[in-house]
Structure 1
Amino acid sequence: MKSFSVAALALIASPVHAGLRFGCSSLIVTRLDPVVEPGRAPSAHLHHIVGGNAFNVTMTGDVGSRGTCTTCEMAEDFSNYWTAVLYFKHPTNGSYHRVPVTNNAALASGTRGGMTIYYTPYDFSSDNLKKQPITAFKPGFRMTVGSPTTSTLAAAKGHIGLRYNCLQTLINRGAEMADFPDKPCPAGIFTVHHFPACWDGKNLDSPDHQSHMYNTITRDGFTNAPACPASHPVRMPQVTYETVWDTTKFNSLWPSGTPNPYVWSFEGSSGYGTHADYMFGWKGDSLQRAMDKDGCFYDGCGTIKKQTMNVANQCTVKDMVNENTDGWVTALPGQMA
């Protein structure tokens, strides 16, 4: 393990010190996980991936230097971002159908599904902390949040910033919840994954892919992050994913008063196991330049090259697993007994 020495609303932002918010179109849906299951093809369950085309079965070293295109609006970001995939389980016959991803509100024109990605120093209001420097991630850095083995509500609530919203419209989210909605949602199911922002200053990864990072936020949402502890003294950008799952076409198949019919691609009987993976891959010092820039948001901070989404949408990777992941299936990919 390589080491280094320690050296608005989510849609309408309030004033900020610095930060990034941008869309990434979907890159691929496949059973690979180079963070948790490097070298294994296929991985145990299906993932929805966005970002750079260096995505592969195994990923080490400087991902940003190997990428040649990205599905993200920020053209210097060859990182990869991924989550499990949402499925609808038919209440009558038990078959499964993958839920498509749709655009979040206010993304760049032409974004196809994908995710909204944030890199924020302290989240949306930072006056009390703006003197603290933000250190960009290093080549080879990776981390995860959440766990597919989470099985209780108490444990799910302990995963601060991993939440669901039952969308009334794409801009009316309703309350945050630690589990799937218990009734059909008019505009889909919204998921958010906040990552920790305090680094131990040494390890690019850890055995559980989480211990090298520390979360100082004690309540959900975009809130100011308290100071980092001595064990994890280096403040890094807080990375956040937002995904909109278009559940609308399944609403008529959910009988009134019956239990939630949605499952993640690792099965489970609840939404407690929601989780996400991050693999850093920005080119050179591009992310550090953005974090050093005061008073910007959404616009690349005046330092990062942007691309139109019709260019981003041309970025693809080869499917290294080649299995059916769409339409009605009798078992989840990788979960057949």
Structure 2
Amino acid sequence: MKWLSVAIAGAAPAQAYLRFGCGTLSVQRLDPIVEPGKVPSAHVHQIIGGNAFNASMDPKVDISEKATCTTCSFTEDLSNYWTAVMYFKARNGSYHRVPQYPNALLGNLVGGMTVYYLQQDFNSNGKQKITSFKPGFRMTVGSPTSTKDGNPGLRYTCLKDVMTRFPETAEFPKEPCPAGIMAIHHFPACWDGKNLDSPNHQDHMYNTGKGGFVAAGACPSSHPVRMPQLALETMWNTTMFNDKSLWPTDGSQPFVWSYDDSKGYGTHADYLFGWKGDALQRTMDSTPLLSNGLKTQSVDQANKCSIKPSVQEKIDGWLDHLPGMAM
């Protein structure tokens, strides 16, 4: 399947990882983890995954039993993943949403993200037990209130072409990027073994990641359970805004997140587990890590999965202000 890449060819047969695409499910102001039940939420998100997504997602309900389709390549992955949305801010103060495009090898997938689940890193699956997330599990990484670099797993790449991966920066790139900007979100992978969530949606997890797709450090005794290393990549097609005569007169970069962050330190992502049955655990138990046994669907089938917006507002075209942000 052209859009699905699940293994790296290498000298050692254990070199592999789970990598797949998920198209856009919806773009709207909803956030069932941080602002459950609130319609609309504070800022716009781009959402991928299963169509059970809504403003109020009860942690006691297994969403894999509620969703009837998914925008992900694996039909057994009915999880939801979401991040903020990128906007271009023009010299006159108006805003325009930046479109997304699929990562390499993902065919004509509509927008969305590339999702990774790793046991250890790109070069080895390691030997330790990887425990799957559980029904009701949720977590976030990053915070929209961050004003400085605090997590090596939250990064940007100025794309020279669709295959560019380095260098990475903690801030938005400061110069026009020939092929757009890739936003990268690496979630923590150490669990306390007890709580499916926590009040700030982060304390039940502990981050020992070092940035990039390299092996994370050992889990501490407070969070001893190693879970999959989950990561997201989003390709933002900023090329239509590369004319610097459109940029601020002081030469500063013109992109902002949907909560009005022009530096980029506040980038964040949310995850709500929804794999069917033991599908993810079976995959994590496999050696090497392969998609054998996981059910897949075509890109066209994935693109057909969507939900109706709960929030009726203009989020595209030229806007006087960011949705949800007071003028």
TM-score range, shorter chain: over 0.9
Contact 2:7 2:15 survives alignment (8 Å)? no
Give the C-alpha shift of residue 44 in structure 1: 0.2
2:123 and 2:206 map into 1 onto residues whose CA distance is 20
Q: Which residue of 2 aligns with 1:52?
A: 50
1:29 aligns with 2:27: yes
Contact 2:8 2:15 survives alignment (8 Å)? no
Pairwise mapping of residues 59-74 of structure 1 onto structure 2 (< 5 A)? 59-60=57-58, 61-74=61-74
- Normalising by structure 2, what TM-score? 0.93
- Structure 2, unmatched stretches of 5+, are 1-5
Which has the higher mean CA deviation after the structures are superposed, 51-60 or 10-19? Answer: 10-19
Give the C-alpha shift of residue 148 in structure 1: 0.4
Aligned residues: percent identity? 59
Contact 1:120 1:239 survives alignment (8 Å)? yes
1:258 and 1:250 map into 2 onto residues whose CA distance is 13
Runs of 4+ with >3 A deviation? 10-19
1:323 aligns with 2:316: no
Q: Identify the match of residue 182 of structure 2 among 177, 180, 190.
A: 190
Query: Which digits, 9 at most, give the CA deviation of each residue in 1:237-256, with x for residues without a partner?
Result: 01100000000001112368
Q: Which residue of 2 aligns with 1:135?
A: 131
Task: Go from structure 1 to structure 2 and tell me whether the alpha carbon gap of 1:12 and 1:244 turns closer, same or farther (over 3 Å shift).
Answer: farther
Give the C-alpha shift of residue 225 in structure 1: 1.8
Q: Which residue of 2 aligns with 1:3?
A: none
Give the C-alpha shift of residue 125 in structure 1: 2.5
Q: Identify the match of residue 175 of structure 1 among 127, 142, 167.
A: 167
Contact 1:199 1:236 survives alignment (8 Å)? yes
Which has the higher mean CA deviation after the structures are superposed, 182-191 or 118-127? Answer: 118-127
Task: Go from structure 1 to structure 2 and tell me whether the alpha carbon gap of 1:186 and 1:46 turns closer, same or farther (over 3 Å shift).
Answer: same
Give the C-alpha shift of residue 227 in structure 1: 2.0
Aligned-pair RMSD on alpha carbons?
1.7
Q: Identify the match of residue 311 of structure 1 among 285, 301, 305.
A: 301
Task: Go from structure 1 to structure 2 and tell me whether the alpha carbon gap of 1:146 and 1:104 turns closer, same or farther (over 3 Å shift).
Answer: same
- Normalising by structure 1, what TM-score? 0.90
2:296 and 2:20 map into 1 onto residues whose CA distance is 10
1:291 and 1:18 map into 2 onto residues whose CA distance is 11
Give the C-alpha shift of residue 12 in structure 1: 5.8
Query: Which digits, 9 at most, give the CA deviation of each residue in 1:103-135, with x for residues without a partner?
Result: 11122x2311110000111121336xx221111
Aligned residues: 316
1:87 and 1:17 map into 2 onto residues whose CA distance is 37
Instruction: Report the residue type matching 1:332 in the other structure.
Output: L
Query: Which digits, 9 at most, give the CA deviation of each residue in 1:66-112, with x for residues without a partner?
Result: 1110000011000001000000000x2010000001111122x2311
Contact 1:18 1:121 survives alignment (8 Å)? no
Contact 1:19 1:290 survives alignment (8 Å)? no
Secondary structure of the structure 1 residue equivalent to 2:304: coil
Q: Which residue of 1 aligns with 2:277?
A: 284
